[in-house]
Amino acid sequence: MQVRKVNISGVNTYKLPVLSSARMKELFLQMQAGDKSARRELINGNLRLVLSVLQRFKNRGENLDDLFQVGCIGLMKAVDNFSLEHNVHFSTYAVPMIIGEIKRHLRDNNAVRVSRSLKLLAQKAQQVREELTRKLLREPTIQEIALQLDVTAEEVIFAYQAINEPVSLHDPVFADSTDPIYIMDVVSDQKNNAELWVEDITLHQALEILSERERQILEARFFEGRTQTEIAAAIGISQAQVSRIEKAALRRIRHHLADEGGNANASG
């Protein structure tokens, strides 16, 4: 029989132990009584939590060994600070601490440093956004937020973008039970020039089949080069809604173009 073995930082992840809830409770009681071996067993018995968290960061080009070690620091902090009186599962308590430790590591070791003033502007913009939402009973535009802060709209957008963390192309930007939208669905492939059909005259004809809002969003995205965030702010809807409308509109256009091509071939 072949033995599976996946090593991260010298740990054979296939052989990691799993602790039952009863054993976890027993070990925490022993640790509180000063048993250091109980602490070690708790850490080793929950390393799978670190592995599960690493799945969120695996497509970011980071060294998994390094992230695993950082995640283990978060796990140790969780073990040391957890109390049975919290009345929650240990995993519920530990996972956010592990994620936080990894995110701090990525932020502190990021080659691109965001200035303190830019972070402060982004925080103020978020506060103003929440205040205006409550006051206006709708999502405020970037221009309205900028006016309150006495800065330009471009500065607000730049501040928001500067504090955004890197994401994977497989991360969802909108999801419902039937049709999730991933980042790869809403970015263009610059390497595949043969498929950059958005500039073709046929697209202008295909745009006529769309609703006014769908056409407005596609024209802003592909002809004006505006981001989804900018479009959402301009027309007063959320970025998730822009993503959903854009994907549906592109699907309709692709089907229209395919039908047109099929009809042309049949007539030829």
Kindly report, residue by residue over 18-28, the tens digit of the pLDDT: 888 889 899 99
Q: What is the pLDDT of residue 112?
A: 53
Amino acid code (one letter) for 236: G
Strand partners, 8: 11
Structure tokens at 30: 């022993």
Q: What is the pLDDT of residue 60?
A: 64
Give yes or no for residue 190 having a pLDDT over 70.
no
Give yes or no for residue 181 having a pLDDT over 50.
yes
**Total Cβ atoms within 10 A of residue 38:** 18
The hierarchical CATH code for the domain 168-268 is 1.10.10.10
Give yes or no for residue 203 having a pLDDT over 80.
no
The closest alpha carbon to 198, from 157, 154, 246, 156, belongs to: 246
For residues 181 and 71, the model is more confident at 71
What's the pLDDT tens digit per position in 213-226? 888 888 887 777 77
Q: Taking the model in full, what pTM does it have?
A: 0.42
Can you tell me which residue has the tokens 């956004």? 129
Average pLDDT of the residues in 129-133? 88
Strand partners, 208: none
Beta-carbon-side half-sphere exposure of residue 157 (alpha carbons within 13 Å): 15
For CATH 1.20.120.1810, the residue range(s) in the chain are 7-108
Structure tokens at 164: 């955004």
Can you tell me which residue has the tokens 């109980």? 38
For CATH 1.10.10.10, the residue range(s) in the chain are 112-166, 168-268
Least confident of 60-69, 80-89, 131-140, 162-171: 162-171
What's the pLDDT tens digit per position in 42-52? 988 898 888 88
Give yes or no for residue 7 having a pLDDT over 80.
no
Q: What is the pLDDT of residue 160?
A: 74
Q: Which fold has domain 7-108?
A: Four Helix Bundle (Hemerythrin (Met), subunit A) (1.20.120)
Give yes or no for residue 193 having a pLDDT over 80.
no
Measure the CA–CA gap between 241 and 230, rounded to whole angstroms: 13
250 contacts: CB under 8 Å, gap ≥ 6: 218
The closest alpha carbon to 9, from 66, 85, 91, 78, belongs to: 66
Least confident of 104-113, 155-164, 175-184: 175-184
Judged by DSSP in three states, 181 sits in strand
Give yes or no for residue 134 having a pLDDT over 50.
yes
Q: What is the pLDDT of residue 30?
A: 92
Q: Which CATH architecture has domain 112-166?
A: Orthogonal Bundle (1.10)
Model confidence at 209, pLDDT cuts 50, 70, 90, reads confident
Give yes or no for residue 10 having a pLDDT over 70.
no
Q: What is the pLDDT of residue 68?
A: 87
